[in-house]
Amino acid sequence: MTTEEAKKAVFISYASDDREAALKICESLRNAGVEVWFDLSELRGGDAWDASIRKQIKNCALFLAIISKNTRARQEGYFRLEWKLAVDRSHLMSQERAFLLPVAIDDTPEDSDNLPDRFKEVQWVRLLGGAVPDSFIDRVNRLLAVPAAASAQFSAFAVLAAAAVRHYLNARAGVAPESAIAATPPSAPTKIAGFNPPEHSIAVMPFANMSGDPAQEYFSDGLSEELLDALSRLPGLHVAARTSSFSFKGKSTTAADIARTLNVAALLEGSVRREGTKVRISTQLISAVTGFELWSQTYDRDLKDVLKLQSDVAAAVIQSLRVKLIDDLPALVEEGGTHDPRALDLFFRARALSGHQSLQKLNQKLELTTQAIRLDPQYADAYAARANTESTLAGGWDPQERIARRYAEARRDIERAIELAPQNGRIRAEYGTVLQNGYLDFRGAQVQFAKAEELAPNEVVSMASVANFQALMGRSAEATMTIRRALALNPLSPGAWANSAAAFLYIGLFEEAIKADDHVASLGSSAGEETRCQALLALGRNEAALAACQPADSANRQAALAVLFKKLNRQSEAQAMLDQLVKENGDAAAYQYAGIYAQWGDMRTALKWIERAYEVKDPGVAFMKADPMLEPIRREPRFQAVVRKLNFPD
């Protein structure tokens, strides 16, 4: 084995009684491409064995110590010699170097006797019975990927910097932290050629779940998202969106490659281990430009103090990245959260369902947020999440007779959220969406979207709603600028690219819409196909549009197909598609009927249906000013009369 290969090898130390569990861990790591040194001999000892083991422990990159009731009970064993050799080597390393990784395969407590003190100073992992989740593989790969140089170039300057960070963070926390290390090298290292990200930019990576229970993944993800949301609120800090940063979860991508892909200057990584109402969170901030660790800290907190933890991490990030200090940072970061651990857990469970847009999952999310609100009636984020779910149900799942009542529930919840957290930009954007879609109150929506931009100029979820509104209102230049900013912060999100495609469609940039949809497809998603269908139809590429509009599984696709069949002289199929749309939707698709008849050249019927769409408060009328399907009737007096009634902002 070469020296370079040894630098990335993991040594597994275990007692013979734990051989089966150790072997499971070894095989899982090897299957993930990790080099593992694992002694399978039943008879240990002798000079040759001793020399071999000493050499491996001296050269390995990571020492993984299997801990159990068996190791605790045994007063003697070769594993204890391995532990001593590893501990001795660790004393020669700088404090920030990750080398010792204790892995408990049962419920052995971390403060057990018969364990080296050094083991008690580092974070443990629990892999019950040797079961290995993806988060553990990811954690090991990240530890192995840290450049060796980053752990060797420390001097008195670094010690002083570490002391300064510890003093600052301890003053905020009110307790002495277990570890707080600033890792600024004494001289500026060479930057990566051709990589020049925005100075104050960061990606929050999904924190590794070190609880030993894969079912706790929602909690580590939820805590990562809480920190990401908190940092997104800070003016002057550009934070990569959750969808993009989380796309690297479970992959062995290096920090440098992640940073290049997301175009960020720093990565915030960490791990979470939860036991009851207690949580240990280890965090580290890495400079993506130099590869050096800027700051790291381990927190042991009660779950009711998670809000303060967010403030502490945000303060450390601001200081490390030299972002302008913010007045009353805790109030900004903690607004909208909860101090109730049970409510927080329910909220994290609800958030974990956000990517699943099925009726069953939406109802589960609704129930979880409702339970969270019962536990903490002051939990603004839970009200906002419930409002988002109610709005989604009203917009695409509820029967016609339920829609108005559901939007009323969404409005009540989002207004309560604003009462509790008036400075939260994302909540303002959600309110704008409810007013736009549920009440056709476009002037009121404009006020809320403007407030969202003011309060959270770099918050990606808000940007998507703002860009959509700007496009529908005909504000092409503003919409284009917002789209570009959103994609810069969320380059790997199929949803972000699909949203941009829709916005391009409604400002008349049909070729740009298709290019954006091509990018959606390159990311492995079909989310952009409906927009591609409409853009190709608008460009007159009928055969290509016909392929893109299949299958006819939505009202918009059915409407497009009815138009396409007519253009291709397939009259009976055009009429059959319209009949199917009417049968399935009744007056709920009044807006789509207007577009079909407008494209068919039947202006009188098209105008009748656009008036009917206004009467039934069809959310589709929000698209009236921009929808290319309505171009043939746009200048008709009756059409303009409906536009005036809707009172669109200037």
Could you read off the pLDDT of 483-517 as tens digits, one per residue? 888 888 888 888 888 889 999 999 899 999 999 99
Distance CA 104, CA 127 (A): 6
Stated pTM of the model: 0.69
Residue matched to tokens 């009200």: 383
Helices vs strands, H then E, count in the chain: 30, 12
Residues 120 and 588: their CA atoms lie apart, in Å, by: 64
The yes-or-no verdict on residue 193 having pLDDT over 60 is no
Is residue 110's pLDDT more than 90?
Answer: no
Strands 179-181, 293-302: pairing kind: antiparallel
pLDDT at site 326: 66
**Residue 595 pLDDT > 90:** yes
* pLDDT on residue 172: 40
Candidates 576, 569, 520; CA nearest to 548 is 520
Report pLDDT for 541: 94
Task: Quote the CA–CA distance of 267 and 255 in Å, as a whole number.
Answer: 7
Per DSSP, the residues of 311-347 read HHHHHHHHHHHTPPP-TTHHHHHHTT--S-HHHHHHH
Q: Which of 136, 268, 101 is nearest to 208 (CA)?
A: 136
Q: Three-state DSSP class for 67?
A: strand
Mean pLDDT of the 71-84 span: 88
Task: Give the tens place of pLDDT for each residue, 344-398.
Answer: 899 989 988 876 668 889 999 999 999 999 999 999 999 999 999 999 898 878 8
DSSP-based three-state secondary structure for 158: helix
> Residue 137 has what pLDDT?
84
Reply yes or no on whether the pLDDT at 155 is more than 60.
Answer: no
Half-sphere exposure of 305 toward its Cβ, with a 13 Å CA cutoff? Answer: 16
Lowest mean per-residue pLDDT among 294-308, 436-450, 452-466 = 294-308
Residues 130-145 pLDDT 10s = 888 877 887 788 778 7
pLDDT given at position 149? 35
pLDDT of residue 493: 85
Does residue 198 have a pLDDT over 50?
A: yes
Give the CA distances from residue 368 to residues 108, 220, 314, 396, in Å, rounded to whole numbers and listed in that order: 33, 18, 28, 20
User: pLDDT digits over 608-618, tens only?
Assistant: 999 999 998 88
pLDDT for the residue 251:
81
Mean pLDDT over residues 188-213, rounded? Answer: 73
pLDDT of residue 272: 87
Quickly state the pLDDT bin for 592 (edges 50, 70, 90): very high
Q: Residue 539: its pLDDT value, please?
A: 94
Q: Which of 81-85, 444-448, 480-484 has the highest mean pLDDT?
A: 444-448
Whether the per-residue pLDDT at 164 is higher than 70: the answer is no
345 versus 8: which is more confidently predicted? 345
Q: What is the C-alpha separation between 483 and 478, in angstroms, rounded?
A: 9
Q: Tell me what pLDDT residue 327 has.
A: 66
Least confident span in 319-328, 360-369, 548-557: 319-328
How far is it, in rounded angstroms, from Cα 152 to Cα 568?
A: 70
| pLDDT score, position 51 | 79
CB contact set of 28 (below 8 Å; sequence gap of 6+): 132, 136, 137
Q: What is the pLDDT of residue 144?
A: 81
Q: What percent of the chain has pLDDT over 90?
A: 34
Highest average pLDDT, of 35-39, 67-71, 400-404, comes from 67-71
Least confident segment among 304-308, 482-486, 517-521: 304-308
617 near 440, Cβ under 8 Å? yes
What integer is the mean pLDDT of 397-405?
85
339 or 150: which carries more pLDDT confidence? 339
The backbone region for 241, taken as left when phi is positive above 0, alpha when psi lies in -120 to 50, beta otherwise, is beta
Q: What is the pLDDT of residue 50?
A: 74
- C-alpha to C-alpha distance for 458 and 246, rounded to whole angstroms: 18
228-262 pLDDT per residue, tens: 888 888 877 888 888 888 888 878 787 788 888 89
pLDDT band at 180 (very low <50, low <70, confident <90, very high): very low
Residue 330 above 70 pLDDT?
Answer: yes
Q: Are 593 and 584 in contact (CB under 8 A)?
A: no
- Segment 427-434 shows an average pLDDT of 95
The CB-based long-range contact list for 480-483 (8 Å cut-off, 24+ gap) reads 480/507, 480/509
CA neighbours closer than 13 Å in the CB half-sphere of residue 551:
1
Q: What is the pLDDT of residue 150?
A: 39
Share of the chain above pLDDT 70, in %: 88
| More confident position, 167 or 84 | 84
In whole angstroms, what is the distance from residue 545 CA to residue 532 CA? 7
- Residue that wins the pLDDT comparison between 305 and 451: 451
Confidence of residue 284 (pLDDT cuts 50, 70, 90): confident
Say if CB 126 and CB 210 are below 8 A apart.
yes
pLDDT score, position 147: 40
Which pLDDT value is given to residue 6? 53
Q: Please give the mean pLDDT across all residues of the chain.
A: 83
25-38 residues labelled b (16+ CB within 10 A) or e (exposed): bbebbeebebbbbb
pLDDT at 562: 96
Sheet containing 62-67, strands listed edge to edge, beginning at the edge strand earlier in sequence: 35-37, 9-13, 62-67, 100-104, 125-126
* Per-residue b or e along 322-349, where b marks 16 or more CB atoms closer than 10 Å to that residue's CB: ebeebeebbebbbbbbbbbbbbbbbbbb
User: Terminal CA-to-CA distance of the chain, rounded, Å?
Assistant: 71
Which two structure tokens, joined as six digits, stand for 355? 């990517």
pLDDT at residue 48 in the model: 66
Tell me: pLDDT of 177 over 70: no
